[in-house]
Amino acid sequence: MSYKDQDKEKEKEYQRKYRENNKEKISERGKEYRERLENKVRDKLYYQKNKERIKAKRKERDTRPEAKAKKKESDKKYSKKNKEKIKVRRKKYQQRPEIKAKAKKYQQRPEVKAKAREKENKRRKKLGLPSVHKMGSEEYKKQISATQQGIDIEDWNGFSKKQYDQNWTLEFRRAIRKRDNQVCMLCGIHREKLTKALDVHHIDYNKLNTTKENCVSLCCSCHSKTQTNREEWKRFFQSLLSKRYGYRYLR
């Protein structure tokens, strides 16, 4: 006989001896197992007969304040322990095409849009900004153009539609950037750290006055800052260029 067959026979003898010595324990375990199966079958039959009543009782139980408080505590504990798992599940759930389609449909509802507008208007009031429905109005546009020109709304004459003169060419703009060493004259950032070329700004805001004394290179963010308080920016850049390049300006 091989070693495997000998081991199998030893295991059989051990099991036979264990059964003979522990008949009472084995019988008790068998009874417990049978009782569990009987209870499961009985519970399933009871649930099938009384589904609606059980659901109603569960709803009443969940609506109680004590049950709600316990549920909140359990949810908090679970969220603290499993933050990363919850994030991964949310990402996977949101990336499904079915869920994306449902989200779009939900956002296009008029009720949801109205709620979003109310929230945005509250945020704008705190910051002192106009409401969303006034953004596209003519009064709002006039107010923006007046602030950009540095004047009051009463002195506003119209939108500026001036075009550039003949000197405004690509070679001229490149020459201004080269003169300023490809650096923004306001914040000092270099062209290499930007995604696009530097803007060329007219110091006196006159697009027909395209001269090297009246132009300066700026990055996009700094160029947007110069659209308000025009007179102060004009004085600042004129003094800066006069110190650096020796230009003279009439005042």
* Amino acid 216: pLDDT: 95
- The C-alpha atoms of residue 221 and residue 59 are separated, in whole angstroms, by 57
* Amino acid 81: pLDDT: 87
Checking if the pLDDT of 251 tops 70, the result is: no
Residues 50-99: tens digit of each pLDDT: 888 888 888 888 888 888 888 888 888 888 888 888 889 988 998 999 99
Element at 227 (helix H, strand E): none
Residues 192-237: tens digit of each pLDDT: 998 889 999 999 888 888 999 999 999 999 998 888 888 899 999 9
Residues 133-191: tens digit of each pLDDT: 565 667 777 777 776 666 677 777 776 666 788 889 999 999 999 999 999 999 999 99
> Which of 63-72, 109-118, 237-246 is modeled with the greatest confidence?
237-246
- Transcribe 4-53 into DSSP letters: HHHHHHHHHHHHHHHHHHTHHHHHHHHHHHHHHHHHHHHHHHHHHHTHHH
**Two tokens, residue 8:** 């199998």
* Amino acid 135: pLDDT: 58
* Amino acid 55: pLDDT: 86
Are 167 and 215 in contact by the 8 Å Cβ rule? The answer is no
DSSP annotation of 134 reads G
* Amino acid 119: pLDDT: 86
Q: Which of 123-127, 174-178, 226-230, 240-244 comes out lowest in average pLDDT?
A: 123-127
Q: How far is CA 181 from CA 5, 57, 198, in A?
A: 91, 78, 11
Residue 184 Ramachandran class (φ > 0 left, ψ -120 to 50 alpha, else beta): beta
